[in-house]
Amino acid sequence: MQRIPFTPGIKRRMAVMGVALLALGMLGLSGHPSGDFDFSKHSVPLDQIMSGGPGKDGIPAILNPRFVTAAKAAFLKDEDRILGIAREEEAKAYPIKILNWHEIVNDTLARKPILVTYCPLCGTGIGFTPIVNGRPLKFGVSGLLYQSDLVMYDYQTESLWSQISMEAIAGPMTGAKLQHIFLEHTTWGEWRRMHPNTHVLSTKTGYFRDYNRDPYLGYGQRADLMFPTQNMDSQFHPKAWVVGLEVGGIAKAYPFAELQKGSGTVRDEVNGRSVIIRFNKRAQSASITDLAGQSIPSVMAYWFAWYAFHPDTLVFVAEKPDPD
């Protein structure tokens, strides 16, 4: 078995997560296979896959999520951030304050399986259809990182999956891809206004956590990274927010710093596809649709994280207003 390198960033992350991670290991709550992963088949350099500190299932994915109505979600404030998804008159919100401690929720929406993932180190909330070659998969947190980003594993084959690249990078399913689905990354107040009948992931997760405590408090404002990436760019602050998409292998990022210079709506073309980017300054969120208003799966991320996976990305720059 290939040994994953231990880096100084691991100590920093352990300090950030605090005593709760120790409690996880002592309680032994995961109930899933443990031990090393098989790295004999892989698609990325193994020295770029590193331990994030907690071991396999040390950060426990939520397998049987419980929900409450919006009226009973008193633990949320309007300014709290959530990941939201709606389909066939059903809407669900996943609070970041819960995802910070679990990172993965295996769920269903409109009777179909969905996978909701969040990497606190990259700010990336990404949704997937967890079905590969007709086979539904369940996912857990591997405890590993690739380019400072969450590496998931599926319980069926124990293959390792990169969240941002959306594909298996090691194990039997190396090279397989997950279908990206749209998630709204916004505030609770904004989501509740748009979806008053939404349900909300409950704090009754089966684990003992203080979900009102942010274990990554301040990380999103600092310029330093806990873990290294292969590609860095200083055009923007490393933790500056961008929304990005990829069309036929062409990636483009829309920095919030540029979007907020205009009216909040940008019409653009990426690799021949017409898109509309809508920026909500109040909620500090952005989404992308086609010309018909249909959502296009996109990724809100810290700039460093988007660039780490898309070093050839195009970058939107707002037009300068005409001088009077």
Least confident of 123-127, 141-145, 261-265, 266-270: 261-265
- What's the pLDDT at 320? 76
- How high does pLDDT run on average in the chain? 90
Q: 170-219: per-residue pLDDT in tens?
A: 999 999 999 999 999 999 999 999 999 999 999 999 999 999 999 999 99
pLDDT band for position 65 (50/70/90)? Answer: very high
Q: Could you write out the three-class secondary structure of the chain? A: CCCCCCCHHHHHHHHHHCHHHHHHHHHCCCCCCCCCCCCCCECCCHHHEEECCCCCCCCCCECCCCEEEHHHCCCCCCCCEEEEEEECCEEEEEEHHHHHHHCEEEEEECCEEEEEEEECCCCEEEEEECEECCEECCEEEEEEEECCEEEEEECCCCCEEECCCCEEEECCCCCCECEEECCEEEEHHHHHHHCCCCEEECCCCCCCCCCCCCCCCCCCCCCCCCCCCCCCCCCCCCCCEEEEEEECCEEEEEEHHHHCCCCCEEEEEECCEEEEEEEECCCCEEEEECCCCCECCCEEEEHHHHHHHCCCCEECCCCCCCCC
pLDDT of 324 strictly over 90: no
pLDDT band of 12, cuts 50, 70, 90 = low
| 317 — pLDDT class (breaks 50, 70, 90) | very high
Report pLDDT for 240.
Answer: 98
Please determine, for residue 4, whether its predicted confidence score (pLDDT) is greater than 80. no
What pLDDT is attached to residue 35?
45
Neighbour tally for 236: CB within 10 Å: 20
The confidence score (pLDDT) of residue 55 equals: 93
Question: pLDDT-based confidence at 319, cuts 50/70/90?
Answer: confident
How much is the pLDDT for 22? 39
pTM comes to 0.91
The model's pLDDT over 273-282, given as tens digits with 9 standing for 90+, comes to 999 999 999 9
Mean pLDDT of the 137-150 span: 98
Give the pLDDT score at 23.
37
Kindly indicate the confidence band of residue 36, based on its pLDDT and cuts at 50, 70 and 90.
confident
| The pLDDT value given to residue 1 | 41
Q: In whole angstroms, what is the distance from residue 139 CA to residue 59 CA?
A: 12
Is residue 77 pLDDT above 50, yes or no? yes
How do residues 207-266 score in pLDDT, each as one tens digit? 999 999 999 999 999 999 999 999 999 999 999 999 999 999 999 999 999 999 999 999
Beta-ladder partners of 200: 68, 93
| Segment 92-115 mean pLDDT | 97
Using H for helix, E for strand and C for coil, what is the string for 239-280?
Answer: CCEEEEEEECCEEEEEEHHHHCCCCCEEEEEECCEEEEEEEE
